[in-house]
Amino acid sequence: MIVLRLALQSLQARWLTALLSILAIAFSVMLLLGVEKVRNGARQSFADTISGTDLIVGARSGGVQLLLYSVFRIGNATNNVTWKSYEDIASHPDVEWIVPLSLGDSHKGYRVLGTNQDYFKYYRFRGDQPLEVTQGEVFDDLFDAVIGSEVARQLGYKVGDKIVIGHGLGSVSFLDHADKPFRVSGILEKTGTPVDRTVHVSLEAIEAIHIDWQQGAPIPGQSVSAEQVRQMELKPQAITAALIGLKSRLAVFRVQRAINEYRQEPLLAILPGASLQELWELVGVAETALAVVSAMVVATAILGMVTMILTTLNERRREMAILRSVGARPATVMGLLTTEAGVLTLAGVVLGTVLLYVSLFFLRPIVDRLYGLNLAISAPTSGEFMTLAAIVLAGLIAGLVPAVLAYRRSLADGMTVRI
């Protein structure tokens, strides 16, 4: 206790340099834990994007690629799935429900998804939460569109507004379907998933806007008006992917094998969870790099603290000598400097942890709105506690360096006045 009291008094006498050391350690700890929170939040947000779906089907490519473009709206499909194949899969005795997805168009940088009413019935996220329409209703007319919350917020849309779908995926489209505008019929409640950044229309509407198009461009001299399209019997020719729910989870691998061995065209069926795990393995190197950088920042802060103690050590030679002259043992002098390092490190760890949770409290809704990341405010995990304990231990060990130097200096050296 005497050593601890002496250490606190010594740090109080040098409060400015001590405070700077604590802040350096605190911000480094905040960065280290913050990276871990963001990493876990990103993983959880990705995992929460879709649930209750047993299989995802698309053209044969890579499992991660299929997952990215069908669920996260990232990238493009290598090929489409014919409607005949979709109907064959839907008629499989183990399939309870199937939801078609058609991608390829956009609206001011936001993906347009063609689907049917089953999408709003069976799509689940964050456990078992269904999609909810906060304003308006799910599309009923051919040219109705249901937009995500972010689309509505960023573009200022409300129910009844007219929108024009552009061909392709660019934020600025030079080819659009201006002759067949859509009406916003509904706005979805915020989900924190790519659904918020999607414009949903019917599969028939996707066929309607491309009725007078061929190979990605309007057919010269041919134009079909919106009213003429309404009189036609529109049937999808192909889709991009499909979400499948099975009657029994035990049939997952049987149905997956049947789809992968489908003879009419090359198809791929994936398990969302397995492909997501494969995705994390691909980005694991980047996660490791971020963790290493954060650890190096913590090491730099501890090194700065040791440098501060060493810098003041020469000025404190007389202080150490007086302590020795009044009976302090060499171990007491060593314990004093080691305790100072431990106190500084512990204070930095505690302050950094508090700053992290305060920042999470204020920044969480902003990060969720801008990036769709759900950063949970939860107590530190056992792994994080072990990390914090390791940092404090590293600070104590680092404090041994100035402690050993002070131990080696003699009483006579400390009492001698140098000119």
pLDDT digits 0-9 by tens, 283-301: 777 778 878 888 888 888 8
More confident residue, 58 or 300: 58
Calculate mean pLDDT across residues 331-339. Answer: 74
In the chain, where the domains are located: 2-46+283-415, 55-270
Q: What is the pLDDT of residue 410?
A: 44
Residue 246's H or E segment, with its range, is strand 241-246
* pLDDT single digits (tens) 218-275: 666 677 777 787 878 788 889 999 999 999 989 999 999 999 999 999 999 999 989 9
Provide the β-strand partners of residue 58: 241, 268
Residue 191, pLDDT above cutoff 90: no
Q: Where does the pLDDT of residue 214 fall: very low under 50, low under 70, confident under 90, or very high at 90 and above?
A: low
Residue 414, pLDDT above cutoff 60: no
Q: Is 320 helix (H, G, I), strand (E, B) or coil?
A: helix
Residue 6, pLDDT above cutoff 50: yes
Span of 162-166, 173-177, 298-302, 401-405 with lowest mean pLDDT? 173-177
The whole-chain average pLDDT of the chain stands at 83
Residue type, 63: G
DSSP 114-145: EE-HHHHHH-EETTTEEP-EEEE-S--STTEE
Q: What percentage of residues in the chain have a pLDDT greater than 90?
A: 36
Q: Where does the pLDDT of residue 99 fall: very low under 50, low under 70, confident under 90, or very high at 90 and above?
A: very high
CA-closest candidate to residue 124, choices 56, 191, 42, 198: 191
Burial of 51 (0-12, 13-18, 19+ CB in 10 A): middle
Calculate mean pLDDT across residues 358-387. Answer: 80
Residue 376, pLDDT above cutoff 80: no
Residue 308's H or E segment, with its range, is helix 272-313
| CA 143 and chain centroid, separation | 34
Q: Where does the pLDDT of residue 412 fall: very low under 50, low under 70, confident under 90, or very high at 90 and above?
A: very low
Check: CB of residue 36 under 8 Å from CB of residue 369.
no
Cα separations in angstroms, 155 against 131, 197, 363 = 21, 11, 23
Cα separation of 393 and 403, whole Å?
15
